Structure 1
């Protein structure tokens, strides 16, 4: 039987939003310190300084809390990507890929310990569930639109598949660099450059007709 991953309800007022933020922050802290098996809703409530009833008002169980953290990460990722793309205002496809990879790297450096715990220890929320997160679908659509804008420069005809390849390459390599086999602090720029070169060669960018 699959666990209930959706929250009971969404906060609407500033006070309730602050409460949910405190609960999720506490969830992140407890997960990093104790791992999935050592965490519980009682510990999370205690760390957040709220009653267990306040937790259950929004989240039915521990798994729904972790799912909410995954969604918050996706939102942070999108916001970071959007900020980098806006600041850099890239024009060429390679420049856009570079901006996306850089934004992805920045987002994954925010809470690497939490990402490691969630990815490695949360037994139910597999990568397949990413498509159920609206903000993640927005990221997919944005990358596909980017490829569409440069279609005449690309070798792949199937842009849906090309989008999947681009996103999986970025996510897998940056996840490995920031959480699985962390690189020295002076290496992020080098790995970003290598990812962009890899993607550019896969897409086989040519001069536009």
Structure 2
């Protein structure tokens, strides 16, 4: 039988919303400290200062709770990226590119410890549809961004360029946020990502 991963009910009153927020905040702390396998609803309820019965009013099981946490985290990251794409609309190519990459870095700094756990430990949990939808939306925004600068973007296949950027930026940003070398600031590392990306996009193809 498939485990339910949807919330049991949505909070409507301010007090209920505060309870759900406390539960999700506690779940994030427990997940970062203990990992997915060791996290459980009893511990989350204790950290949130509510009874486990109160937790179950909103979340039928651990996976429903973690899925709600994942969705909240995705929305927070989406807000950062949506703001970056909106601000880039009328900027010159170099400024727009820098703003978008800084946005990607900022988005990955939103509860970075939680993000690492969600990325590394929960790949098999039934929450991937929302993740895929988010990626598809960002890819579409990235494609629209590149299409605005035909004189600067020399990669002939924009669909391929978006694919390369999505995967390259995902790996690089994760690295600079979490494991950059000692003595290298986040600002410096981000500027290097901007430089690498600009060189890729502005270099004409060589050969077939």
User: What's the TM-score, normalizing by structure 2?
Assistant: 0.79
Residues 1:74 and 2:82 are matched in the alignment: no
Distance 1:37 1:193, change over 3 A: same
Residue 88 of structure 2 contacts residue 100 of structure 2 at CA under 8 Å; is this kept in 1?
A: no
Cα distance between partner residues in 2 of 1:17 and 1:185: 42
Pick from 172, 188, 191: which aligns with 1:190?
A: 188
Deviation at 1:42, TM superposition (A): 1.2
The one-character-per-residue Cα deviations of 1:188-207 (angstroms, maximum 9, x if unpaired) are: 1122122122222222268x
> What secondary structure, in the 3-state scheme, does the structure 2 residue paired with 1:6 have?
coil
Deviation at 1:111, TM superposition (A): 2.0
Distance 1:57 1:152, change over 3 A: farther
Cα distance between partner residues in 1 of 2:150 and 2:198: 13
> What secondary structure, in the 3-state scheme, does the structure 1 residue paired with 2:103 have?
helix
Cα RMSD, aligned residues only: 3.0
User: Across the two proteins, how many residue pairs are aligned to each other?
Assistant: 204
Residue 28 of structure 2 contacts residue 114 of structure 2 at CA under 8 Å; is this kept in 1?
A: yes
Distance 1:24 1:155, change over 3 A: same
Deviation at 1:24, TM superposition (A): 0.9
Gaps of 5+ in 1: none
Question: Which residues of 2 match residues 129-208 of structure 1 at below 5 A?
Answer: 129=128, 132=131, 134-179=133-178, 181-184=179-182, 186-204=184-202
Structure 1 window deviating more from structure 2 (188-197 vs 3-12): it is 3-12
The one-character-per-residue Cα deviations of 1:148-184 (angstroms, maximum 9, x if unpaired) are: 22245433344333223222221211112223x2444
Gaps of 5+ in 2: none
Distance 1:116 1:90, change over 3 A: same
